Structure 1
């Protein structure tokens, strides 16, 4: 059997739905994708270095709120299993990497999760396999980081293996667009790679969007997230200006949104959160320097969004001062620690930065979040806190309540009535009496 025929065999396995899929990284992106492939009847092996996650998944225990034990049981019945044993890479036909791509302390890309994962699977890689990267990264990563690792082991993308980049587009908490519904961008190292990657993902995703190269796919994901980051930066800056002028920015946005063309409403908040929007733009600014380009527009938006938690803390301090109190010694309750409403994901949440800043100023900080009963271990912060139950009695024990994430599960009438001072960063309340907009 020739090496080329092994790619034909891969195509045959995909076409007959006998392809075995491996997912590396079973977090908010990898686990939903694994369950989706299992849902359409494929055998799926999930890899994660966290032994506790592996144990929980194989016991039908979920660590992501929207993924129920029933969904895990259905997936495992269909053939899904989790493991930390990378030698099982040899059992799979398609290998999909869904690991984090954070920034380091100097806001430069940290690809260690990607490189460590690929280096861990490479000893077991074989001819006829497809390798797909979904982690958001700078244009050129697939060509410059993954392809050389394959070639160093004697593999050539498009000849005896396939290499593609297909960025994740998960939107946790979105009731209208799940994994199968979101169109999937994909670029291949060669046309043959693109053909095989598209055929694989088409088994689980309704709409595929092929592009000319892995670099085009990588840039597509960055443009999507930079578009949001820049527009959020703009509206956050507008909020600061409007606040100084005594204008309700939320009223202005609602009015502007009535224009049927040429305007897309973005809402301000306490800062940017999640693993994408606060981080991904800096992957492009870093890479652009290689081409002697300064991405000033992107970096300015990043500065504004990074400043917002500090601005909120300033508003809290000013509001407490007006009541004759200082931040130091005050009991402050933060409402919502996930980065967006109605989910349990705390990654890069501005609420945590606000809590840390307040604690640094001597406040006694607590939080309440119906989706996060206890704060998980975090790389950036050290909190040992559980969610506070909200009722009239508990609210009256706090000098200030700060709405940072506007979950639908909060009782907003109760909050408005019982909070001694309520600082609203989301525009859920009308400013009056004990309620301050921030």
Structure 2
């Protein structure tokens, strides 16, 4: 069919909705590999930065935008009427949780309605946003069917979960194997043909529900194993055993063990959120998800545990209550060596310290000031301290929340106060541990 040929010869125009951590790398990769791509977003500030070849996503360097300038293969707009010019539309919008920890598909449904206003017959629509099994068929398809166009005949639907890993130097959008599935055989052929031109390896599965389940299973696997080592950390700490040494020792076994590491909580756009999508959907089938829910409880409780331990240490070693203490928070991003703030456990630590009345400053080489977030709006635009201004006696304790490589950890020890290390950052660098407490 003509649409499949357009994908195979890369003559099709691809629309990517949502130019964030998933959408922008996807759009740039598709353009680099020869497709004509239009990026759509509701944020005019992103349009301005793209026009200035100023990337706001670490995975897309400025020179990648500069290299595409003038090729005609990548442009961007806030005008969703231009969706009518696209033969494939890829949806890369957020799927957060509500305050009740239930799926919030408002971004997906709003996007689907916008697509429905402009879609033309013969278009492939692919959802990339992580969600519960059944979303493509139960949410996306009915909204698009309201146009009078029949999915599977006039338009084609598919699901292909994003697998971005910010800060990963080994894998990028083009080299990570891509799971794809179509709603029907013809849609499956189309989505496979499209992504074969964008990424190195396409892995086709039988149904969109299967593809949705693949992604959510990947993240539940990580969430459960992180919860396990977080619980082991609490147990071994009481026993006087270093959980980090235990994990490093166990990791020498060449089979049957995969190392996961504890921390102050879960962060990122997937692992803290996605398991709850499945637990919510499982209720429809009256199936309990006790293991997943227990993992969520353990991981969610970790920031409170960290602050409780910090309170004990400041009281014992400094002789102050936390309400009178000055704390330096090291690292505000959710993982090392990136600026990604989504669901960062450091923000929950900051909130708990603020509620306790502590004075808090932070340093982070990747986050010069806290950006606007759906939660924690009270901290918007709070600036990072310049590490060069830090001096002994300035703080009552240092709390390492994110172990960026660019931090001078030896200088933190020179501040002459307790260092609470949730990432084993000091020990891994072979620095003195006299005033360091692993938490």
* Range class of TM-score, shorter chain: over 0.9
Partner residue, 2:273: 279
State whether structure 2 residue 305 is matched by structure 1 residue 304: no
Alignment check: 8 A CA contact 1:9 1:128 kept: no
Deviates more, 1:377-386 or 1:312-321: 377-386
Partner residue, 2:179: 185
Alignment root-mean-square deviation, CA:
1.2
Return the TM-score normalized by structure 1: 0.96
Query: Matches of residues 127-146 of structure 1 in structure 2 within 5 Å?
Result: 127-146=121-140
Partner residue, 1:5: none
Alignment check: 8 A CA contact 1:187 1:213 kept: yes
Query: What is the rounded CA distance, in whole Å, between the counterparts of 1:42 and 1:402 in structure 2?
Result: 47
Deviates more, 1:13-22 or 1:382-391: 382-391
Contiguous gaps of at least 5 residues in structure 2: none
Query: What is the rounded CA distance, in whole Å, between the counterparts of 1:32 and 1:66 in structure 2?
Result: 7
State whether structure 2 residue 346 is matched by structure 1 residue 346: no
Alignment check: 8 A CA contact 1:225 1:281 kept: yes
Partner residue, 1:39: 32
Query: What is the rounded CA distance, in whole Å, between the counterparts of 2:241 and 2:32 in structure 1?
Result: 50
Query: What is the rounded CA distance, in whole Å, between the counterparts of 2:108 and 2:222 in structure 1?
Result: 25
Query: What is the rounded CA distance, in whole Å, between the counterparts of 1:249 and 1:391 in structure 2?
Result: 33
Three-state SS of the structure 1 residue aligned to 2:37 is strand
Partner residue, 1:432: 433
Query: What is the rounded CA distance, in whole Å, between the counterparts of 2:309 and 2:26 in structure 1?
Result: 41
Contiguous gaps of at least 5 residues in structure 1: 1-7
**Post-superposition offset of 1:76:** 3.3
Alignment check: 8 A CA contact 1:392 1:414 kept: no
Query: What is the rounded CA distance, in whole Å, between the counterparts of 1:267 and 1:395 in structure 2?
Result: 31
Query: What is the rounded CA distance, in whole Å, between the counterparts of 2:143 and 2:374 in structure 1?
Result: 29
**Post-superposition offset of 1:392:** 7.0
Alignment check: 8 A CA contact 2:130 2:162 kept: yes
State whether structure 2 residue 326 is matched by structure 1 residue 331: yes
- Alpha-carbon displacement from aligned partner over 1:80-125 (angstroms, at most 9, x marks no partner): 1111100000011100000000000100000001111111121110
Query: What is the rounded CA distance, in whole Å, between the counterparts of 1:67 and 1:374 in structure 2?
Result: 21
Query: What is the rounded CA distance, in whole Å, between the counterparts of 1:373 and 1:76 in structure 2?
Result: 28
Q: 1:264 aligns with which of 243, 258, 261?
A: 258
* Distance verdict in 2 for CA 1:380–1:419, change over 3 Å: farther
- Alpha-carbon displacement from aligned partner over 1:400-437 (angstroms, at most 9, x marks no partner): 11111001101122222334111000012248332111
Alignment check: 8 A CA contact 1:65 1:371 kept: no
Return the TM-score normalized by structure 2: 0.96
Query: What is the rounded CA distance, in whole Å, between the counterparts of 2:165 and 2:10 in structure 1?
Result: 27
State whether structure 2 residue 396 is matched by structure 1 residue 403: no
Query: What is the rounded CA distance, in whole Å, between the counterparts of 2:36 and 2:123 in structure 1?
Result: 15
Query: Matches of residues 75-154 of structure 1 in structure 2 within 5 Å?
Result: 75-78=68-71, 79-154=73-148
